[in-house]
Amino acid sequence: MINILPVFILLPLGAGFVMLLSHRIGRRLPAFICNAAVFFMMVMSFSLFFFRPVGSVMIFRTGCFPVIIGINLVLDGLSHLLLFTVNLVAFLIALYSVSYMARYTKKEKYYSLFMLMVAGMNGVILTGDLISLFIFMELAAISGSALVAFGTESEELEAAFKYLVMGSVASIFILFAMILLYSLTGTTNMADIAQSLPAGAYHAKMLISLLFLVGFGTKAAIIPFHAWLPDAHPAAPAPISAMLSGVLIKALGIYAIIRIFYNVLGMTNQLSNVFMVFGVLSLLIGVIMALGQWDFKRLLAYHSISQIGYILLGLGVATPLGVLGALFHLFNHAIFKPLLFLTAGSVEYATGTRQLKELGGLRQKMPVTANTSLIASLAISGIPPFNGFWSKLFIIIACIQAGRLWFALAAVIGSILTLSSFMKIQKYVFFGKLPARLRNTKESPWFMGTSMLTLALLCLVIGLLFPIFVSLIISPAVMSVAAGTGYAQLVLGGF
Amino acid sequence: MVMYLFCVLLLSIGIYCVAAKKNLIKIIIGLVIMEYSMNLLLVVVGYRKGGVDPIIDPSAANAVYVDPLAQMFALAMIVIGLATTIIMSAIAMRIYERYGTFDITKIGKLKG
């Protein structure tokens, strides 16, 4: 089989440029190209599960350079999980955008930036080289912040500026760490760095870890570095909020943290403690701050911080079950958080507001939105049989097995608080009395409905069939995380 | 050694500028200073004592070359920095159109 890995980067990049020209030919052409391209990538990333033997690594070499010198694209279990997640979510969001973006002007630019963001994320996930990781990360972050400012209202501009400043400072810290790593090992190939990292140099490694933690922690919005997220995510158009919260913070933040700390630098006990403490802080403070919000999307944005905390807690436990829970939760969060943002967008589309106090009783008027939102709320709060329950259960069990009872307790408390804050959303938006102003509310167009229904169905199906799903998709990813710095042998071994 | 310290000094000036200044344009300038400190660090890391340009010259067989990879990265970073600066200036201009000021204490609609 020919190696199709570059397609995941070149296709969205190409489509992004073709779109800017194509809207002169047909007004609807950019939306069509965007959907077709993302659909193709989703099918490809899924079909790769049948072509890539479990535990093996797929490598694309640019030019004829040997793996150790050239810039490679590497697909192992972890990358594959993220690649599938990103493209699946991107497709459903692109479908949703068709109706949602109808009221905006300059749609071709929206779709073009959307494709650039997807290209950046796919690049981050697939690349096996630190510097190209940095370049793709900047591509995704810059197009993401341009999309946050897409509506050009004052609120959106401020949020985008804040996001850009914090994102750029984080990028500079990451770059600093990369330069130090390069001067320590003389290479930028991640596998080669893992192999040739000198055994001593304790202080240098400490500084590098610290800089990476601050940089990628800001990209992932872990609690002390989270200030940009609650502004940037609500300000963007709803599909972009879904994209940012659902996959961008994971591809740029969590994936990079896993790859660098587990596979390149090697995990230590101190680091795992740091991860757990940051994880618990994020999950508690995020959810407590969410409780006090009255803006629908801002509330959801704080929950993103909290759920990232769960993922980080699972990663910090660092037992196979903990990592399994973390990666499963990463996938689940990428399903239900976009769904919640899409329902929030649907409510905003129909009523023109997202202040909880101005809404109410939309259940009869918008059945699809109300029911999908209910499913997503139950899934994120960890109610069986939805998918969020199992991943949270794995993380909590892993904490208990590792003897971290306080952390397990914090995770349970976080889950209960999550439930209460989503009950607030359900009460104020979908139940209760319908205000007179909203008598004529209609259900959103069917493009939006289809996308929301699909995501809700995924929540339920993955929750019911989780053993199959875990053994098929998550376990290979756990294997590649658990390989630790053995990643180097996996990548360089065959050459 | 002096050059490394100079890079760190530049970086600290940039961080101070981003953190303490109230003007949008000055914040952007602070970020540019930080980017340049990193570019300088890349070039310094790639330097070899007595090194010459990394172009292979048959007449000087045992010449020491500076590291071309680091210089290439510095070029890539300049391009990325350009993109960031452009989009930030564009947003700053739009903010100026809305509020008529660059002062962040006067334009704060958001909190938290």
> Chain A contact for B69, CB < 8 A?
yes
Rounded distance, CA A441 to CA B24, Å? 41
A79, A60 contact by CB (below 8 A): no
> How much is the pLDDT for B111?
46
> How much is the pLDDT for A169?
93
C-alpha separations of A194 from A77, A266, A268, B7, B55 in Å: 18, 8, 14, 27, 30
> Chain A contact for B44, CB < 8 A?
no
To 10 degrees, the CA torsion angle through A260, A131, A72, A5? 90
- Residue A407: phi and psi, rounded to 5, are -65, -40
Helix (H, G, I), strand (E, B) or coil at A59: strand
Domain residues for the domain of A375 are 267-464
H-type alpha helices, A186-268: 190-196, 202-220, 229-235, 238-243, 249, 255-258
- For B87, the closest of A146, A162, A188 (CB atoms) is A146
A441, A365 contact by CB (below 8 A): yes
What DSSP assignment string belongs to A417-438? Answer: HHHHHHHHHIIIIISSPPPGGG
B76, B53 contact by CB (below 8 A): no
User: What percentage of residues in chain A have a pLDDT greater than 70?
Assistant: 99
> Chain B contact for A457, CB < 8 A?
no
Q: ipTM for the complex?
A: 0.93
Q: What is the DSSP letter of A106?
A: -
Q: What is the DSSP letter of A261?
A: I
Residue A155 has a CB neighbour count (10 Å cut-off) of: 14
Q: What's the CATH fold of domain B2-48+64-107?
A: Helix Hairpins (1.10.287)
Domain parsing of chain B, residue ranges: 2-48+64-107
Q: Which residues contact A386 (CB under 8 A, 6 or more apart)?
A: A336, A375, A378, A379, A459, A460, A463
> How much is the pLDDT for A232?
87
Helix (H, G, I), strand (E, B) or coil at A183: helix
- Rounded to a whole number of angstroms, the distance from the CA of B34 to the nearest CA of chain A is 7
> Chain A contact for B88, CB < 8 A?
yes
- CA A269 to chain centroid: 26
Residue A68: name the closest of A124, A4, A128, A139 by CA: A128
> How much is the pLDDT for A129?
87
Quick check: A162 and B109 CB within 8 A?
A: no
- Counted across chains A and B, CB pairs separated by less than 8 A come out at 80
pLDDT-flagged residues of chain B (< 70): 61, 108-112
Q: Give chain A's domain count.
A: 1
- Res. A421: pLDDT tops 70: yes
- Res. A87: pLDDT tops 90: yes
> For A380-407, what is each residue's pLDDT tens digit?
988 888 888 999 999 999 999 998 899 9
Quick check: A149 and B94 CB within 8 A?
A: yes
- Res. A431: pLDDT tops 50: yes
Residue A383: name the closest of A327, A320, A323, A426 by CA: A426
Q: What is the mean pLDDT of residues A225-245?
A: 89
Quick check: B77 and A175 CB within 8 A?
A: yes
> For A37-64, what is each residue's pLDDT tens digit?
999 999 999 988 888 777 778 888 877 7
Q: Please give the mean pLDDT across all residues of chain A.
A: 88
> Chain B contact for A151, CB < 8 A?
no
CA angle A102, A103, A104 (to 5 degrees): 95
Rounded distance, CA A208 to CA A202, Å? 10
Answer yes or no: is A77 within a domain. Answer: no
Rounded distance, CA A318 to CA A258, Å? 11
Tokens 């893992």, located at residue: A194
Rounded distance, CA A226 to CA A305, Å? 7
Least confident of A143-147, A264-268, B101-105: B101-105
What DSSP assignment string belongs to B42-85? Answer: HHHHH--TT-B-S---TTSTTPPBP-HHHHHHHHHHHHHHHHHH
Residue A214: name the closest of A249, A177, A245, A181 by CA: A177
CA angle A189, A313, A405 (to 5 degrees): 145
Rounded distance, CA A230 to CA A25, Å? 39
CA angle B46, B50, B53 (to 5 degrees): 60
Q: What token pair was written down for A216?
A: 């990628």
- Res. A2: pLDDT tops 70: no
- Res. A479: pLDDT tops 70: yes
Q: Which residues contact A152 (CB under 8 A, 6 or more apart)?
A: B94
Q: Which helix (H) or strand (E) holds A60?
A: strand A58-61
> Chain A contact for B96, CB < 8 A?
no
Answer yes or no: is A370 within a domain. Answer: yes
Answer yes or no: is A350 within a domain. Answer: yes
Quick check: A188 and B70 CB within 8 A?
A: no
- Res. A494: pLDDT tops 70: no
- Residue A60: phi and psi, rounded to 5, are -110, 125
A41, A19 contact by CB (below 8 A): no
> How much is the pLDDT for B14?
93
CA of B109: which chain A residue's CA is closest? A155
Residue B72: name the closest of B50, B98, B106, B46 by CA: B46
Q: Which residues of B49-71 are buried (b: 16+ CB within 10 A; e: fewer)?
A: eeeeeeeeeeeeeeeeebbebbb
- Res. A1: pLDDT tops 60: no
Q: pTM for this one?
A: 0.92
B-chain residues within 8 Å CB-CB of A146?
87
Helix (H, G, I), strand (E, B) or coil at A72: strand
- For A157, the closest of B14, B45, B98 (CB atoms) is B98
